[in-house]
Amino acid sequence: MADDLPCRKQRRGWVGKTISELMPQDTLAALDGQQGFIPPRYGRAGHTTKALLEAGRELLRERPLDGLTNQEICAAAHVTTGAFYGRFNSKLAFFRALQTVMAEEADQRMAACLTKVETGDGGLQAGVRALLSEMRRVVLRHQGVLRATILEANGNAWQGFKQRRAAFVERSVPVLAALHGGGDKAALQRRIRIAFQFAIGSIINAILNNPGPLRLTSKEFDEELTRAFCAYVDSE
């Protein structure tokens, strides 16, 4: 697992820190100013907001967005519908909040993982496994929200996620190229980008279709994606 990878180089004080320690803890701050969201004024109200978001995230694992009611979300969070409408003016605003929190958490976790890879002393395979493992875990945690985002009719949120993904790949390419350490630089970086395209495409296919034999719930997914990624990068 990415959280278990050693990080032994003394660089910028990151030694020995877990991914959770490298992350800011409150992703709700990303909702400040978001349309349709009423920010809580007290700590307890913040806990209720988190409970609602957690309930929605869990329910969307197995349910489509259009088949989910606000009453079911409230029941799962053990709060009243008044508590829901005291924070979100509609189910769409609630879903937008889920998307925002997911994007913020994904950015934080993947950036922290990339920091560990960059400052560690592992090779290419260890770095690739760390990044792909963390990516799978983020996707697994938010798979229902991601699925609903991909399938959303006339939705623009998926384009934003694609841009975030592309930005993360671009930050990762020079880090992984340095771990590889050989060959023509431009050609190597192009192979790394293509390998990311293959890996991310496999993860998206698993979100939408779950075709097997590899499942998002399995660490074997990490191992096989890493094997394929590194084999392609090493090809000439």
Length of the chain, in residues = 236
Helix 143-151 and helix 157-180, axial crossing angle in degrees, nearest 10: 120
Q: Which amino acid is at 44?
A: R
- Read off φ and ψ for residue 199, nearest 5 degrees: -65, -45
Question: Does residue 149 belong to any structural domain of this protein?
Answer: yes
| Residue with tokens 């990311």, as numbered in its chain | 196
d(CA 236, CA 234): 6
Question: Does residue 81 belong to any structural domain of this protein?
Answer: yes
The pLDDT, as a whole number, for residue 102 is 92
d(CA 71, CA 119): 47
Average pLDDT, the chain: 85
Q: Select the more confidently predicted residue: 225 or 160.
A: 225
| Domain enclosing residue 201, as ranges | 21-234
Q: For 54-107, how does the pLDDT look when each residue is reduced to its tens digit (9 = 90+)?
A: 999 999 999 999 999 999 999 999 999 999 999 999 999 999 999 999 999 999
d(CA 55, CA 79): 10
Question: Does residue 202 belong to any structural domain of this protein?
Answer: yes
Question: Does residue 71 belong to any structural domain of this protein?
Answer: yes
- Cβ atoms of 203 and 165 within 8 Å: the answer is no
The pLDDT, as a whole number, for residue 22 is 36
The pLDDT, as a whole number, for residue 118 is 93
The pLDDT, as a whole number, for residue 201 is 94
Question: Does residue 9 belong to any structural domain of this protein?
Answer: no
Residues pairing with 37 in the sheet: 88
The pLDDT, as a whole number, for residue 4 is 35
What is the 3 state secondary structure string of the chain?
CHHHCCCCCCCCCCCCCCHHHHCCCCHHHHHCCCCCECCCCCHHHHHHHHHHHHHHHHHCCCCCHHHCCHHHHHHHHCCCHHHHHCCECCHHHHHHHHHHHHHHHHHHHHHHHHHHHHHCCCCHHHHHHHHHHHHHHHHHHCHHHHHHHHHCCCCCHHHHHHHHHHHHHHHHHHHHHHHHCCCCHHHHHHHHHHHHHHHHHHHHHHHHCCCCCCCCCCHHHHHHHHHHHHHHHHCC
Q: For 168-209, how does the pLDDT look when each residue is reduced to its tens digit (9 = 90+)?
A: 999 999 999 999 987 789 999 999 999 999 999 999 999 998
Q: Select the more confidently predicted residue: 181 or 221.
A: 221
Q: Which amino acid is at 140?
A: L
Percentage of the chain lying above the pLDDT 90 cut: 62
**Of 153-157, 172-176, 182-186, 227-231, which range is least confident?**
153-157
Question: Does residue 11 belong to any structural domain of this protein?
Answer: no
The pLDDT, as a whole number, for residue 158 is 76
Question: Does residue 3 belong to any structural domain of this protein?
Answer: no
CATH number, position 34: 1.10.357.10
Question: Does residue 1 belong to any structural domain of this protein?
Answer: no
* Number of domains into which the chain is organized: 1
- Does pLDDT of 145 surpass 80? yes
- Does pLDDT of 42 surpass 80? no
- Does pLDDT of 222 surpass 50? yes
* Predicted confidence band of residue 33 (pLDDT cuts 50, 70, 90): confident
10 Å CB burial of residue 16 (0-12, 13-18, 19+) is: exposed
The pLDDT, as a whole number, for residue 154 is 63
d(CA 157, CA 180): 34
Percentage of the chain lying above the pLDDT 70 cut: 85
Q: Cα-atom radius of gyration of the chain, to the nearest Å?
A: 19
